[in-house]
């Protein structure tokens, strides 16, 4: 599994705070970001495109992730998709 560098995790946490995400959800968002970036690296998807998120969600379905987990992943604010932070 991809180890997201500390600098990126910190910037993403700041992005989540600025976006109004409650602190209790930050770890969950960080987890999904790590899974998503790992998926993009493994399957050579550009992390900043909506098509990559769609492909990620399809992969979760193929891996038989339950509907609740797929919905959770879909709702996570992925900073790269918004292109509002410095590391996108």
Chain segment 71-84, per-residue pLDDT in tens: 988 888 875 544 44
What average pLDDT does this structure show over 7-20? Answer: 87
pLDDT above 70: residue 67: yes
Q: Is residue 1 part of a domain?
A: no
Per cent of the chain over pLDDT 90 is 34
Determine the structural domain holding residue 56 and report its residue range.
6-82
CA distance 1 to 19: 27
- The domain total for the chain is 1
Termini Cα distance of the chain: 20
């Amino acid at each position: 599994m991809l180890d997201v560098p500390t600098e990126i995790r910190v910037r993403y946490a700041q992005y989540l705070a600025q976006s109004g995400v409650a602190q209790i959800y930050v770890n969950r968002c960080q987890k999904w970001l790590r899974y998503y970036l790992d998926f993009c690296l493994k399957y050579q998807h550009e992390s900043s495109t909506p098509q990559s998120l769609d492909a990620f969600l399809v992969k979760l379905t193929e891996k038989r992730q339950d509907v609740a987990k797929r919905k959770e992943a879909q709702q996570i604010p992925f900073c790269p998709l918004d292109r509002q932070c410095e590391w996108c």
